[in-house]
Amino acid sequence: MAPLSDRPVLDHLVIDVRDRMAAGAARLAALGFQLTPMGRHSLGSANHLAVLAEDYLELLGTDVPGGALRPDIASYPIGMNGLVFRTADAEALSARLVARGVPALPAQSFHRPVELPDGGREDARFRTVRMDRAAAFDGRLYWCEHLTPQHVWRPEWQRHPNGAQSIARVLLAVRDPERQAAMVRRIHGEAAVTIAPDGRARLPCGPVLVEFAPHAAVAAELGAAAPDPAGRGDHLVLVSLRVRDLAATAAVLRAAGIAAETVPGGLRVAAESTLNVAVDFTT
């Protein structure tokens, strides 16, 4: 059977902040990100985006302190819990996934009003296909079809004080990388993922590398910079971002009083200093 797609494309990553939206936004701003105005989904959640060249980070939760969370995100702790790929046709994707025995849910449509920089107001509209949680990891794996990409990727929102340009790498800590690899192969074909000598499964997504690594390998790489699992077994632990100039990024972090460790290829901010996700900056 032909692979579903020859080239998986990362769309965005979701960082849950639960009912601490204001504090979460302030923390990302301190890390040097420019955030979009708060959006409110028709599904009942609120968000801010840090929009990059081809992808983005999303803060997701509620803007009501102590308020109820959307049922599908209510169980997740603060931290990075959403791994989102791009699709051009959510309805067709859902049907093709199910035909391949992938436990995908029917496509879901929703929208959110967007306050544009020129003072206008438009609706950003989406269709998503989610994988059953039990088949993925302790988080949400889904695909997003952007019906109005012009209301997300705007040049005014893509300029960040820290110089962030794009997502370079995503790291998950998992108990069985081969299980994750089997799931990816079912979707994208045998050649989509490789297994490294230390056991991690590697999924290239164009310029982004997604790695499903054994817990021991993650502990060896991140040490004290790793996030609190907060009850999660297989979970997202790190995002690496390409920046224009590491020295300029370091200056932004110093000005905000955020400690950064020098690591091969760049800088690392520990999860305890962010939103329970380790953040690397690289060039």
Question: Domain holding 183: CATH number?
Answer: 3.10.180.10
Domain count, the chain: 2
Assigned domain for 185 exists: yes
What 3-state DSSP class applies to 218?
Answer: helix
b/e per residue, 126-157, with b = 16+ CB within 10 A?
bbbbbbeeeebbbbbbbbbbbeeeebbbeeeb
Q: Judge whether 220 lies within some domain.
A: yes
User: Which residue stretches of 53-176 are H helix?
Assistant: 90-99
For 91, the domain range is: 10-157
How far is residue 234 from each of residues 134, 172, 251, measured CA to CA in Å?
A: 11, 7, 34
Q: Are residues 150 and 203 in the same domain?
A: no
153 and 168, same structural domain?
A: no
Q: Is 244 a domain residue?
A: yes
Whether residues 43 and 106 fall in one domain: yes
The answer to whether 172 and 204 are in contact (CB under 8 A) is no
Residue 1 lies in a domain: no
Same domain, 29 and 65: yes
How far, in Å, are 40, 219, 229 from residue 23 at the CA level?
17, 28, 20
| Domain limit, last residue, from 123, 157, 191 | 157
In 19-120, DSSP assigns E strands to 39-40, 46-51, 56-61, 79-86, 108-115
- In a domain? residue 5: no
Q: Are 277 and 80 in contact (CB under 8 A)?
A: yes
Cβ–Cβ < 8 Å for 24, 59: yes
Q: How far apart are CA 233 and CA 215, in angstroms?
A: 9
Residue type at 171 in one-letter notation = L
Would you write out the chain's pLDDT as a tens digit for each of its 283 residues? 334 555 799 999 999 999 999 999 999 999 999 999 999 999 989 999 999 999 999 999 999 999 999 999 999 999 999 999 999 999 999 999 999 999 999 999 999 999 988 888 999 999 999 999 888 899 999 999 999 999 999 999 999 999 999 999 999 999 999 999 999 999 988 899 999 999 999 999 999 999 999 999 999 999 999 999 999 999 999 999 999 999 999 999 999 999 999 999 999 999 999 999 999 999 9
